[in-house]
Amino acid sequence: MRLKVSAGGVPVGSYTAKFAGIEPTTSEQYGAGYRWKWEITAGAQAGQAASRTTGTTPTEKNGCGAMLRGLIGGELAVGQEIDIEQYIGRNYMLVVAATASGATRVEAIVPVNQ
């Protein structure tokens, strides 16, 4: 059997990608969260996954809120409910940035006109 080592994520940069949804996740350090997932659709990284893990409650100032704002392409309102399912398969421009640990994560998303 042969195993091929990967970078564990796409390199820092901007990518066109389709939103693949969110999945619940749990961290011993942070507790419950969501993993926001995209599939890169163009360029050398096409077919690879990019993601961001956030908490479960979106606010105007946290990562979950930032992902949700980017997903809908606008501002959030307190009390607003958003059906994530309607955004699956839509195209976005992702900005992937490095973290302090050297890993990469989706830092910002912008809807691409369809």
54-99 per-position pLDDT tens digit: 999 999 899 999 999 999 999 999 999 999 999 999 999 999 999 8
pLDDT of residue 113: 77
Q: How far apart are CA 102 and CA 31, in angstroms?
A: 22
Answer whether residue 6 shows pLDDT above 90: no
Q: How far apart are CA 91 and CA 71, in angstroms?
A: 10
pLDDT of residue 76: 92
- Beta bridge pairs of residue 92: 17, 111
Better pLDDT: 4 or 69: 69
Share of the chain above pLDDT 90, in %: 78
Q: How far apart are CA 91 and CA 98, in angstroms?
A: 22
pLDDT of residue 7: 58
